[in-house]
Structure 1
Amino acid sequence: MKKIAGLLFLTFLLNSCDDGNLVQEDIDFEDFTTQKCSTNNIIYKINDKEALILEIPSTNFVNDPTADNSPRTLNISATSNRVVYRFYNGTVSADNICETIQPATPVVVDQWSATSGTIQITTTAVKTTNTTDNSTKITGYNHYINLKDITFSIKNGEQTFRSLPFGNYTTTTTSLPFNFEKVLTKCSNSNTIYDFKSFEAIMLDIDPSLIVNEVTTANSPRTGLIGTSTNKLTYRYFSGLLSSSYFCNATTPTTPTLSEEWNGVSGVSGSNGIIEVTTTTNGPNAFKHTITLKKVSLKKGNSSFTLGDSYILGELFTTN
């Protein structure tokens, strides 16, 4: 009898011990939609009666792609970059997570709070492609979140996961209009030509040999390559309205406030980043120079988009 009682007691002890992996397979939120609270820095996922909640300052979701195999990392603690796994006695809604005064039901029946680990954020640009001209547009940024070597404090001790995928969280970005009139102006004190409208401007510091008051022959435009000094292409988007007084100054004005600046990617001869200038007459001693950008890309940080196979920058009018 004593032997039987001893075996039963040993069995009880073995079944009661937490081996650190008993519930690991049950935490699977990767395929559920990420939601965000509007009044704080909480993002979360809901799976019926469970919720996985992250409190991360929004500044950590940078709208710029991360380098390969180099995610942004944040240290998890009980007070910053918090991670909480909650269990409820009923179906969860956003009100149960975001509201200051939460609904009376469902009730939180258990909560795991992360005490250590890292949050890894891998960011990529979300792009759409115009199949007509092969231009691309960035519509947002996707942030893939993975919880690495995370340890939760639970009722019976601790639960650790080597890798716990949270999944995707998408942020929006400014839609760059590129809504220009296509009529270019040249600064009298430099080789800068520009076009602007409302909140945006595009500028090209062009090689003067491309703007010559001589008619080009058919199918033989003058050509150059986008570069970082000569033929430097710049797109700017502002928080206020532009006027012609912004341009051609020795010092760049501080108003309106610059929101974004994108620079042309250096071209490769015969391949991309090509400038073509076609010159025709526009009356006696007058000329029209049509400037076209072929397979040109613009870049800001690690983000880039293309203007397509052929983008007409605009027309510049000159006289002898």
Structure 2
Amino acid sequence: MGKYFILALCCLALFSCSDGDLQIETIDFDSVSLQYCSAPVATTKNILFKINGDEALILELQSGVLNKGVVGDTIVTQSTISSQSQVTYRIFNDDVDNSYFCDDIPTVDPVVLEEVEAEDGLVIIETYADTDGTNFVHNISLSGVSFVTGSGERITNLTISDFGEVTTAIP
């Protein structure tokens, strides 16, 4: 009887261990600088990203969303996440740098441990002309972003009031 009890305890211990799922507690990129591989262009899709150690928040802006400026006015444009623009959160097995996103041949390391795409939210872009009138300045923020992980964990109401600032030439 004692053998069966010990066997049952071993089986219970074996099957009750964590299955290694990642737990995302917070997504915080407020104090991290915005980066991109090539200067944003007003008429095409633009990939912007923030790196925080072994995490990255990637924003793919819809084509033309930065082409909404009017000299002399401040214009506020919104882009809906998942149907127009895309926000992706990645966790890596080691620290990542911009070469991961910018190299012509993608690097093998670090490895993506988890990738979660936002299902909802808004990209808000405030556009105005710079002081000398040669460029548009675009202040980008995210609001109401909602992620759902592969295990069904929902991370909602993510607000990054200052995702970053980019400039584009006034056409």
TM over 0.5: yes
Q: 1:156 Cα shift?
A: 3.1
Decide whether the 8 Å contact of 1:49 with 1:89 is kept in 2: yes
Aligned length: 141
CA spacing shift, 1:116–1:63, aligned 2, 3 Å:
closer
Percent identical pairs in the alignment equals: 31
Aligned mate of 1:149, from 126, 129, 144: 144
| Residue type of the alignment partner of 1:23 | E
Tell me which residue corresponds to 1:60: 65
What is the distance in 2 between the residues matched to 1:23 and 1:142? 33
When residues 33 and 164 of structure 1 are mapped into structure 2, their CA distance, relative to the original with a 3 A threshold, is closer
- In the alignment, structure 1 residue 94 sits paired with structure 2 residue 98: yes
Partner of 1:29: 29
Q: Give, in angstroms, the shift of residue 163 of structure 1.
A: 2.3
CA distance in 2, matches of 1:166, 1:53: 14
Match of residue 10 from structure 2:
none
What is residue 41 of structure 1 aligned with on the other side? 46
1:32 to partner: Cα distance:
2.6
**Conserved? CA contact 2:81–2:122, under 8 Å:** yes
CA RMSD of aligned residues (A): 2.9
Poorly superposed stretches of 4+, deviation over 4 Å: 65-68
Given the alignment, which residue of 156, 159, 168 partners 2:155?
159
Amino acid across the alignment from 2:28: D
The residue number in structure 1 matching 2:7 is: none
* TM-score for the superposition, normalised by structure 1: 0.39
Deviation string, structure 1 residues 227-256 (Cα, Å, up to 9, x no partner): xxxxxxxxxxxxxxxxxxxxxxxxxxxxxx
Aligned counterparts of 1:105 and 1:163: Cα–Cα separation in 2: 30
Once the two structures are TM-superposed, the CA of residue 101 in structure 1 deviates from its matched residue by 4.2
Does the 8 Å CA contact 2:68/2:77 hold for their aligned counterparts? Answer: no
Alignment partners' CA distance in 1, 2:167 and 2:63: 10
Corresponding residue of 2:11: none
CA distance in structure 2 between the aligned counterparts of 1:85 and 1:165, rounded to whole angstroms: 17
Give the unaligned 5+ runs of structure 2: 1-23, 40-44
Aligned to 2:124: 120
**Residues of 2 paired with 1:80 and 1:98: CA distance?**
23
Q: Mark the structure with the bigger radius of gyration.
A: 1
**Which structure 2 residues correspond to residues 268-279 of structure 1 after superposition, within 5 A?**
none
The residue identity in structure 2 corresponding to 1:168 is: G
Give the 3 Å change call, closer, same or farther, for CA 171–58 of structure 1 in structure 2.
farther
1:84: Cα distance to partner? 0.3
Q: Secondary structure at the match of 1:96?
A: helix
Offset from partner CA, 1:139-189 (integer Å, 9 cap, x none): 533222222211112133221115233522221425xxxxxxxxxxxxxxx
- What is the TM-score when the length of structure 2 is the normalising length? 0.68
Cα separation, partners in 2 of 1:44 and 1:172, compared to 1, 3 Å:
same
Amino acid corresponding to residue 37 of structure 2 in structure 1? C
Partner Cα distance (2:51, 2:107) in 1: 16
Contact 2:141 2:164 in 1 (8 A): no
* Cα displacement (A) at 1:50: 1.2
Q: Which has the higher contact order (CA 8 A, sep 6+)?
A: 2
Asked if 2 retains the 8 angstrom alpha-carbon contact of 1:33 and 1:45, the reply is: yes
